[in-house]
Amino acid sequence: MNKTRFTLSNLPDMLQTAEQAAREAGNYLIRKLGQATIEHQKSLHDDLLNVDVEAENIILTQLRKTFPEIGTLSEETGQEGNRDQYWIVDPLDGSANFQHGSPLFAIAIALVINQVTALGVIYLPIRDEMFTAIRNQGAYLNRDHIKVSKIATVEDAIIHTGDIMKEGDSRLTRERLEDISKLLMQARRIRMIGTAATDLAYLASGRADALINHAKAPWDIEAGKLLLEEAGGKITSGQRENNEVLSIYSNGTVHEDIETLLL
């Protein structure tokens, strides 16, 4: 396999392909908003929708057609092909929102080359907002450069939190509620919007100041992590006494205070 093809000079073309795939899937999802049917239940609070499958197929078909040498890792299909260079795809982040007709959902695509995330795309179809990043080249929203907020204190911060109930484990839910309670006593506002990709895009563009999340799946976070890093943010993860991993994403300036509260 010719790995020399994937160089820094190729990344803009690969980013354009990812954007086109995301936009095509986004157009499909807009037409189907509020009309999804359940294929089967993946877990207690997590359903696989028919639109998950079709949106994923739209994206994977485009990516594989343009770059057949690159493997794929997607939420519904799993990993296929090249494991040194592969796309990570979440065709619909925020399925529960989508199922109820909410416009809060996203499409996330990342490219990993030799264990390093090289580019990331998060597309919010309803607002036609395309968040993009190439490693070491900054973060952008519809081609405009974006940076994290300058909020300096937790007291002034809007903090997002990931979905604390998705696993359906009452013990985990109670423990995560304790974390939220600590933040409620300090932060200006707490938000749980139900889509990690959107959380990270908002954080990278200054619409939020921090995110507390337990999501570990690469399709949930990989594109957003790069976006946040390129926008000047900070990411740390710590293992709790219950062995659960808590990830803190922030604009950097409120990071230490949140770590003190929660870790």
pLDDT per position as a tens digit, 126-181: 999 999 999 999 999 999 999 999 999 999 999 999 887 766 677 788 888 888 98
- Give, to the nearest 10 degrees, the angle between helix 196-204 and helix 218-230: 0
The domain tally of the chain equals 2
CATH code, domain with 203: 3.40.190.80
CA distance 237 to 140: 25
**Domain span at residue 207?**
154-262
pLDDT for res 223: 98
HSE, side-chain direction, 13 A CA sphere, residue 63: 30
CATH code, domain with 32: 3.30.540.10
- pLDDT > 50? residue 44: no
For residue 200, what are its two tokens? Answer: 């990270």
Last residue of a domain, one of 120, 146, 172: 146
> Residue 75 — very low, low, confident or very high, per pLDDT cuts 50/70/90?
confident
Lowest-confidence region among 36-45, 141-150, 195-204, 234-243: 36-45
Write down the pTM of the prediction: 0.92
CA angle 82, 24, 113 (to 5 degrees): 25
Last residue of a domain, one of 146, 168, 198: 146
- pLDDT > 60? residue 28: yes
Q: Are 51 and 32 a contacting pair, CB within 8 Å?
A: yes
What average pLDDT does this structure show over 48-60? Answer: 89
- pLDDT > 50? residue 2: no
Residues 134 and 9 in one domain: yes
Using CA of residue 63, residue 64, residue 69, residue 71, what is the dihedral sign? Answer: positive
- pLDDT per residue over 79-132, tens digit each? 999 999 999 999 999 988 998 999 999 999 999 999 999 999 999 999 999 999
For residue 98, what are its two tokens? Answer: 């989508």
Distance, CA of 184 to chain centre: 24
